[in-house]
Amino acid sequence: MATAREIMTPGAECAGVDDSIRTVAHKMADLGVGALPVCGKDERLKGVITDRDIVIKVLAADRDPASTTAGELAQGEAVTIGADDEAQEILRTMSFHKVRRLPVIDGHVLVGMVAQADVARSLPASEVGALLEALSSD
């Protein structure tokens, strides 16, 4: 069975906890991604920020994207997967937490991201279908 390291997109870039949401949005646009891990000054993962977070928690809430920081939105513990965890653990974690993207860590170091699209390219259709069903249900 494939591991997260084999399925992931390597080289994930972080948004810094002090980066403004405007900066994060530009970084997402430049990279062509819909989510970025948020890392602290200690290089540890603090959370993940998505384009939906920006729209709902900043723009729709009339917050200023220039003064709101990534760290303000990256509250709580990030859901992650270990680099050497098997694909079944990726599926379980995504399904249980209802997330479409998982930061992949090796120890405490961010080494990549596993997105729903990575899973779709790497695993059998039946497993991908079960994941989609789990993510779509309430």
CATH of the domain at 56: 3.10.580.10
**Predicted confidence (pLDDT) per residue in 70-115, tens digit:** 999 886 678 999 999 998 899 899 889 988 889 999 988 899 999 8
Most confident of 30-44, 54-68, 114-128: 54-68
Does residue 125 or residue 60 have the better pLDDT?
A: 60
Task: Give the 3-state secondary structure percentages of the chain, helix then strand then coil, rounded to 5.
Answer: 40, 25, 35
Residue 38 CB burial class (10 angstroms; 0-12, 13-18, ≥19): buried
| The pLDDT value given to residue 138 | 61
Fill in the DSSP letter of residue 84: T
Structural domains counted in the chain: 1
**Predicted confidence (pLDDT) per residue in 23-47, tens digit:** 999 999 999 988 899 998 887 889 9
Q: Can you say how many angstroms the Cα of residue 2 is from the centroid of all Cα atoms in its chain?
A: 20
Mean pLDDT of 43-61: 92
| The pLDDT value given to residue 76 | 67
Does residue 42 or residue 18 have the better pLDDT?
A: 18
**Residue 122's pLDDT band (cuts 50, 70, 90):** confident
Q: Which residue in 50, 52, 51, 54 sits closest to 63, CA to CA?
A: 54
Whether the predicted model's global pTM rises above the 0.75 cut: yes
Domain containing residue 58: 4-136
